[in-house]
Structure 1
Amino acid sequence: MAHSHSHSSEKIGWAFFLNFGFTIIEFIGGWLTNSTAIMADAVHDLGDTLSIGSAWLLNKLGTKSATKEFTYGYRRLSLLGALINGIVLIVGSAWILYEAVPRLSNPEMPETEGMIVLAILGVLVNGFAAYKLHGGKSLNEKVLNWHLLEDVFGWVAVLIVAIVMQFKDWPVLDPVLSIGFTLFILFNVIRNLVSTVKLFFQASPDNSLLQNVTDKLLELDAVIDLHHLHIWSLDGEHHVATVHVVSQFESKVEYLELKESVSNALQKFELSHTTIEIELTSEECRDVC
């Protein structure tokens, strides 16, 4: 298990340094070629670099045990990383739109030869990074692999547009492509940012999860009622649940059977942490809210 975790961390580290190095090249290349499309893809790759860096850090911290201060461990750092990533991408995307929109009415011809070279390099670098993460078992590796494959397709689009402009005097294609990239980035960033903020405020990670848990527990014959059911997520993947279960039992055996049946009912939801308080019908709940 330790070897598998170390191998996963090594592969994510490879992808991070490849993406980080190439993002710097993209910004320089976008400036030299006067291409807003390459600049837009550079912003996209910057977001992926931040995502990969956050995943790499989390992957390393995931080996650390919980402490007296951080009793749930360090998983919520991924939410902080997602929030920072979202803010950076929104600022970067706003800058790209500010540069690209005016070019629709007054397009400038970019340096197409440089665009072609960068596009080929982009396909190779992102393709190699995706190859390094291919076949990964962890959720981090799988998600990041899709991000990198998405980058490969983006660079293929830049390559096609650059080749077209090499033979046709259609400079408007460059800002059109950059605006398309940027709107695609913004759509996904805003959607993910909304989900991240909700998790920060301890919203239920899935609208149906709370109701499904409620229904499953109330199906148990020994459960008369339940209240104070709270479900939240540490990082969008590992969920926590607490609930007060009202029952009536006459012996220790019935009490143990109740605990086992509740445990079995919750097992299908794959919750990382659960806290179950069992109350008798004659008891008054000590929690008032």
Structure 2
Amino acid sequence: MHQHKNESNKRIATAFFLNVGFTIIEFIGGWLTNSTAIMADAVHDLGDSLSIGSAWLLNHLGQKSANSEFTYGYQRLSLLGALINSLVLIAGSIWVLSEAIPRLADPVMPATEGMLILAILGVTVNGFAVYRLSKGNTLNEKVLNWHLLEDVLGWLAVLVVSIVLQFADWPILDPLLSVGFTLFIFFNVIRNLKTTAKLFFQAVPDKKLHERIRHSLLNIDNIFEVHHQHLWSLDGEHHVLTAHIIINQNKDFNLKEYSAMKQSIANALEQYQLAHTTIEIELNQEFCRDQSKLPF
């Protein structure tokens, strides 16, 4: 687990330093080529760098051990990073659209040779960062990956446009492609934001998983009812389960039966790789102290 978290930190750190370094190159290149599109992308990448830096910090803080105050640890800070970055990326996409759409009516021809060189470098640098983050499973890494994928698609658009403009006087292609890839990223980030927001409100991370867990418990011998089953996620990757189960007995368990039931439950839940589980065993017709509380 610790090694997995360190790998996540390394991937985000790589993306951060690559993005900051290339943002500086973009500002210089945009000035030299007199390309407003590249300068706009440089500003957008600066925002990405700030977002990735904050995600790196939150991901690192999220690895702190649990204590008496934060008994589940700080893993939800990573989820906070995913939420912040989704909002920043949506704002950035809206800004890019606000710049690109008016340019459709009055396109400007940039220095295409410089655009071509910067586009090749941009695809290479951001493509490597996307490759690194694609190995991550956390929501934080997935949202950051959309940040960088947006940059890759943007530079691919610049690459195509710069090649075409070598042979044709069609400067309108630049804002057209910018609008296209920005809308693509925008709608995907909206989907990720919806998932992240639901997890913040402790929604079930996966309805099918929730039902599969329930059926696994009910398939254990002598268990005939499961209630107060709750499944939520710390960070989109590590899930927590609590449940009450009723066993088909009217007398107290002896130690051997109790141990066997616990082992059966552990075996049934092992396949789901849950971070935390709390199961309360109740006898048939026993009063549930939570019965008058939440109705599920």
Whether the TM-score (by the shorter chain) exceeds 0.5 is yes
Equivalent position amino acid for 1:74 in 2: Y
- Correspondence for 2:94: 94
In the alignment, structure 1 residue 244 sits paired with structure 2 residue 255: no
- Correspondence for 1:200: 200
Equivalent position amino acid for 2:223 in 1: V
Deviation (angstroms), 1:266: 0.8
- Correspondence for 1:185: 185
Q: Indicate the larger mover: 89-98 or 54-63.
A: 54-63
Within 5 Å, give how 1:39-50 maps onto structure 2: 39-40=40-41, 43=44, 45=45, 49=49
Deviation (angstroms), 1:113: 2.9
Q: Does structure 1 conserve the Cα–Cα contact (< 8 Å) formed by 2:15 and 2:133?
A: no
Within 5 Å, give how 1:103-118 maps onto structure 2: 103-118=103-118
- Correspondence for 1:172: 172
Overall identity of the aligned pairs, in %: 60
Deviations 1:28-52 (A, max 9, x none): 6457633437735863x45754564
Equivalent position amino acid for 1:271 in 2: L
In the alignment, structure 1 residue 274 sits paired with structure 2 residue 263: no
Secondary structure at the aligned position of 2:272 is classed as: coil
Within 5 Å, give how 1:76-95 maps onto structure 2: 76-95=76-95
In the alignment, structure 1 residue 255 sits paired with structure 2 residue 258: yes
- Correspondence for 2:21: 21
Deviations 1:196-230 (A, max 9, x none): 00001111111201111111111111212110000
Higher relative contact order (CA 8 A, sep 6+): 1
Secondary structure at the aligned position of 2:235 is classed as: coil
* CA shift in 2, pair 1:5/1:103, >3 Å: closer
Deviation (angstroms), 1:75: 0.9
Deviations 1:93-149 (A, max 9, x none): 111111211222332223323322321221342245467x3996x546985679757
Report how many residues are paired: 286
* CA shift in 2, pair 1:286/1:83, >3 Å: same
Unpaired runs of 5+ in structure 2?
none
Unpaired runs of 5+ in structure 1?
none
Secondary structure at the aligned position of 1:167 is classed as: coil
Deviations 1:227-271 (A, max 9, x none): 000000011100001000111254221111111111111111111
Pairwise CA RMSD of aligned residues? 3.1
In the alignment, structure 1 residue 284 sits paired with structure 2 residue 287: yes
Taking structure 2 as the reference length, the TM-score comes to: 0.83
